Amino acid sequence: MTTLTVSVPDGTFAAYVAQARTAGPAPAVVVIQEIFGVNAGMRQVCDELAAQGFTAISPDLFWRTEPGLQMDDHNPDHWTRALAIYQAYDLDRGVADIAATVAAARTLPGTNGRVGVMGFCLGGLLTYLSAAQGAGDAFVAYYGGNTDKHLGRAAGIARPMLMHLAGADEFIPADAQAAIRAALAGNPHVVIHGYPGRNHAFARPGGDHYDAADAATANRRTAEFFMTRLR
């Protein structure tokens, strides 16, 4: 594990880096946090990607509020804090921070210059918005909350994107999922997988709604997607 410092016009922020544990130049994947910061769960995701042959980078997107903030989804006070930060969060600044992280990832030693972006919850939304802006080579969004409120940007997606939606998501209800599917149905770059009966954050290790079988399926699809498109 190492730390990368990313520069943007209004400052710098840190990113957790898990180097690919394979020989030869590796693709990079920028891993976008949930509302709890770059916590143990996000670092675990990065470490698992590194074991699969990717260099994984998770930027601290809450750095303007509190650098290094790490919260626990089992702590009610942390939920309150996380939701307050989320509600005040500037999405466009977040997308700009991700674009800067992608640019830095392209030049990391041991990487092949190709970069994917993947994210969960808030990170899933930011992944979708990054895809619409073209900040990356391939994109994977896990249950991106409020994606349905930004469908006007869908036409900008011109690079490969994979989306995972939880069928019983309490934060992305059926009508929102239907709107997302309708807006992206004609885009040949986008593939959407649904997971019937699953709740929001079904792929979060250790989470209340974690489902080992469907998380494994989603993560396998993600790894195969990135292996195909970032090599």
**Helices and strands counted in the chain (H then E):** 6, 8
Q: How far apart are CA 17 and CA 144, in angstroms?
A: 23
Q: How far apart are CA 65 and CA 95, in angstroms?
A: 16
Report the length, in residues, of the chain. Answer: 231
Nearest CA to 122 among 152, 82, 71, 69? 82
Nearest CA to 192 among 230, 154, 227, 156? 154
Where b means 16+ CB within 10 Å and e means fewer, 20-49 reads beeeebbbbbbbbbbbbbbbebbbebbeeb
Active site residues: 169, 200
Nearest CA to 45 among 36, 28, 35, 33? 33
